[in-house]
Every structure is written in structure tokens, then in C-alpha cells.
Structure 1
Amino acid sequence: MATLNPGARVLVLDDDGEDAEAAAGALLDADFAAVPLSENADGLDVDAFLAHVCRGFDALVCDHVLSGARRFGFTGAELVSRANQRPGRPLPAVLLTSHRGTDQTGSISRWLSGIPAVVDKPDLTDGIVPALDYTVRELRGDFSEERRCFLTPIEVLEVFTTNEVKRARVVVVGWHMQKSVWMPLEPALAATGLKAGELEGRWLEAKVNCNAKRPDDLYYRDITIAPDLPEDWFTS
């Protein structure tokens, strides 16, 4: 059973009409009031959108790629992340996407720290209510094993800044010491104050959900430059 009260107002934002209807139907079947976006969002940044358009709603369901007639200055991933992490009164928000495993994955991973649940479009009808349920629980501090994070060293192997989504190839020690993964670059730069080229070969520390099954599900919080490691660290 979902942890939102019956009748809760859920804003549905999806430029694909069929997907919007499927999401609304699943929410209606769970006794929620599904409300499609009706206001003009042109020119609003993400904070203004949350303050103006989302007021009066109890939750949000949003597609990642926002296109169509309305012009958005943000992705669905940023909106969902900021909604869940809004100071004072978080707005439980679930991300919908048909872009897992594509180049769009990188634009989602930057915001995963604030996205408790991502629903793949093929699983929309059955997945949306459980995802909303879990999101509410995580916002109350009840993290699943795969979303619980702890401090771990991170070795930065390479930095790539030429693509639209800037990223770094890293080894997250707490996840797997022999496998490299892609880490979003911009949060690391903002947290450390370093330039992209200065990160290569450096060690960082961050809180990471190291029990995640897939590298695309890893998120990073509280990123810092790691203290120097003891010379015998790998052999002790």
C-alpha cells in the first residue's frame, strides 16, 4: 500500500500522451488524483517551477526528456532530484525514462543522489505506484539496501569533457576494486573546486551506495579530496 494518503494529488509531467495516460491510470487505480500539467511553464527555471507550478500537489511523476510545445530549461532528472531534496518540504517525485542504457543515462546519473526511484517506461503501469511508495519511505529515512550509502575511496582514472555529458572513469573501491565505472564530473568539480584536468590521477572520497547492483545506479554524496593514502594501503 502506498504511503501517500488516498486522494493525494500527483502532478504528471510527460510529453508523450500515451505514457501520461498510462501513468495517470495507474495512479487513479491506486486512489490518487492524477493531474496532468496544465500551466504554462515557459521561461521558468527549476526552482521557480517547483515553487509555482507544483504548489498544492502531494507528489510528482515526471518524464526525463521534456520536449514538445512547452520549453523547459531543465531535465526531468534535475526536477525530480530537486523536488525530493527541496528544503523544508520535499515533494516526493519519481522519474520516468525510456533512456536507461543509452547516452541519456549520463544526464540522469548526475542527479541520482536525489532520485530514490527510476521507472523504465516499459514497466510504467506496474512500477509507478511501488516507486512512489518507496520514494516516500526513503524521504522519511527508510533506505533500501541498494540505496544506502557509506564512505569509500574513489580513484579518478580519466576525465572526459568533450561530450555533452561530462564524466570521469573511476574506480569506486567500495563497489568493485577491479572494475571502473562512469561518474558524473560536474558534481565532483563543484565539490572539490578542482579543474577537470586536475582530477585525473587523484583520489576522492564520497558516500556511495556501494550495494547497487548496476554501475548506472551508483550515486555520490559529500564528495571531497581524499587524504593521502598510506604507502602500504594496497598490501596491508
Structure 2
Amino acid sequence: MQTLSKFLSYKIKTIAIVDSSSSGPEVTLPYWDAEIAGFSTVHVPQELQTIPEIVAFIQEHAQAAICSHRLGSYQAPLFYGAELAASLYDAGIPTLLVTQYLEIDQHSSIRRWRDKLPVVLHLREFDFSTLRHYLDLCVSELQGHIPDSRIPYRVMVGVEHVEGVAGDQYVDVSIDYWDRYQRIRMPIEVFPAELRDQIEPGTWLFAMVNVGAQFAHELYFRDFTLAPEPQFDESLTYCVNVLDDINESENPFLWFEKQQVYAHQLEIEVFGASKDLYN
């Protein structure tokens, strides 16, 4: 785990490139853009087949990473790059996730780990002229400087539709506080295992969501708990920033450390003008 003092002066000299195999679904990452931008690059060896192995290699050889999403080959995928990028986030390593499949995978395999993916790019957006900016965004979030589009708020989420079969189910939800006219799709694995049997149309939940996001693919969801059906437009007004106390701390933890420390301490507040949600 990185220390705060190290991160305050964090410098990126070498970037690890985690690519799909030559027979894989993603086009080879243009690593030369990173070199044009002034960084050294190191390619993660294809023989490394597990997330812990790759994280350990990157910790030893680089200070940041750029990762394709659909790793491995068509026939033998390893795991999704989003999962690897989330593990690198937990290790305090700034990582860009780059994919040609953003429009498709944003609803499924990327959404599962979106809370730990500060920057997700379509391949066409990856360019030497913006690379340093995107890496700075990742470093800044790990330091605890969270942009408005990434700050989580406790809001109400309504289940609108469920489809698929066991092991491959998708849930469409509404977040009225964000946009009452739009629906967001996610895999059922985003929900805690103990709640999945209760996920059906008409179910209401509390969840932590970054409702400052501009686009649907930027939204993440976590810390779901069951909620009563809202009344008096509560779903349009219920929005609580339960992390204010640590976001404004004079001596903050790293952002990923905050999430671990405070995850079990999130409290739900009730607007005085609304009905008591617990009765």
C-alpha cells in the first residue's frame, strides 16, 4: 500500500502496458504515444496469467499502467482489464483503462468495477497529447482530490427491469435524482449476494452513486441496501454526501484507504421535509 507522504510527490517515469494478446479482440495499445509523451514503457509479459502476478510486476517495474479491457485471446480470455485496473487502484497505482468496446461493456464488465476506474477511454481518445492529463486525474483521485463527477452520494435507486438467466442477468435501474428519464443497465453481480434474490421490478434501494457524472458510462454503484418505496417525490430529492467529513479533512487518507476505512460507517440521513424512511 502506498503511503500518503510518497503519494504527495508521486512521479511517473515508467508506464506498464497491459495488452490483449496478438490474437485477442482488442487492437494493440499504441504504447508509442506514451513514449512520445515523455514516458518510458515496459510491457507486462504475456506469460503472467493472474492479477496478483501482474500487479506485483507493475509495482516492481513501473509507476502507472495503461490496460486494455478485453485481455487474453478470443478463445481463452484471462479476466477483464477493468478488474485488473481496480486491483491496481487498490494498490495505489494510477491506471488508464482503454478499450474499443466501451459502448458495449460499459453496462456489464466495466460497470462492475467502475468505482475504482477514474479514467476509462475509448481507444480513439487515447493520444499522447492528453495522456499526462489523464494520468494526473488518476493520481489526484488517489491522493483524495475527487472531481465532482466522481464523488459518491447516497441516493435512491429503483429497479425497473430484470432480464436474463441465472449467471447472466442484467438489471435496469432508475436514478431519479440524476436523470428521471434515463435508465441504466448493470450486471446483477453489482448487487450484494444477499440482496440478489430480492432484486425485481418495483424494488427500491439506497446506493452510493456518483450523481455528478455527466454520462451514463461514468456512473458507478456500491453499498446497496434495501429502501422503502419513496413517497412525495423523495427519489427526486434524497441525496446525501456522507463523506463530507473525510473529503474536507485537513489530514486525509489516500482516497482508496478512505473507502476501506469508512465503508462500514456510512449513515443514512433523512430530509426533514420527507416522510420517515424507516417507518
| TM-score interval for Structure 1 and Structure 2 normalised by the shorter chain | 0.7 to 0.9
User: Corresponding residue for 1:172?
Assistant: 175
User: Corresponding residue for 1:40?
Assistant: 47
Contact 2:18/2:44 (CA < 8 Å) preserved in 1? yes
Give the counterpart of 2:59 among 41, 55, 59. Answer: 55
Specify the code of the residue in structure 1 equivalent to 2:122: D
Give the counterpart of 2:89 among 84, 88, 93. Answer: 84
User: Corresponding residue for 2:37?
Assistant: 30
Specify which structure has the higher proportion of helix: 2
TM-score (normalizing by structure 2): 0.70
CA-CA distance at 1:15 after TM superposition: 2.8
User: Corresponding residue for 2:208?
Assistant: 207
Which region of structure 1 is more displaced relative to structure 2, 114-123 or 97-106? 97-106
Specify the code of the residue in structure 1 equivalent to 2:191: A
User: Corresponding residue for 1:138?
Assistant: 141
Contact 1:157/1:171 (CA < 8 Å) preserved in 2? yes
User: Residues 163-185 of structure 1, C-alpha deviation per residue, up to 9 Å, x if partnerless?
Assistant: 97532111112211232221332
Which region of structure 1 is more displaced relative to structure 2, 135-144 or 165-174? 165-174
CA-CA distance at 1:69 after TM superposition: 9.7
Superposed, which structure 2 residues align to 1:1-236 within 5 Å? 4-5=10-11, 8-15=13-20, 19-20=28-29, 22=30, 24-38=31-45, 40-42=47-49, 44=50, 46-51=51-56, 53-56=57-60, 57-68=62-73, 73-86=78-91, 90-102=92-104, 105-125=107-127, 126-162=129-165, 166-190=169-193, 193-196=194-197, 198-200=198-200, 201-226=202-227, 228-229=228-229, 231-233=231-233
Change (3 A) 1:165 1:70: closer
- C-alpha RMSD of matched pairs (Å): 2.8
CA-CA distance at 1:11 after TM superposition: 0.7
TM-score (normalizing by structure 1): 0.81
Q: How many residues align?
A: 221
For the residues of structure 2 that align with 1:69 and 1:154, how far apart are their CA atoms?
A: 35
Contact 1:9/1:59 (CA < 8 Å) preserved in 2? yes
For the residues of structure 2 that align with 1:120 and 1:127, how far apart are their CA atoms?
A: 13
Uncovered stretches (5+) of structure 1, i.e. residues with no partner: none
CA-CA distance at 1:58 after TM superposition: 1.1
CA-CA distance at 1:40 after TM superposition: 1.3
Change (3 A) 1:67 1:105: farther
Which region of structure 1 is more displaced relative to structure 2, 32-41 or 115-124? 32-41
- SS of 1:38's equivalent in the other structure is coil
Specify the code of the residue in structure 2 equivalent to 1:100: L
User: Residues 44-70 of structure 1, C-alpha deviation per residue, up to 9 Å, x if partnerless?
Assistant: 2x234323x323121111000112499
For the residues of structure 2 that align with 1:131 and 1:175, how far apart are their CA atoms?
A: 25
Uncovered stretches (5+) of structure 2, i.e. residues with no partner: 1-8, 237-273, 275-279
Contact 1:170/1:182 (CA < 8 Å) preserved in 2? yes
Contact 1:119/1:127 (CA < 8 Å) preserved in 2? no
CA-CA distance at 1:25 after TM superposition: 2.0
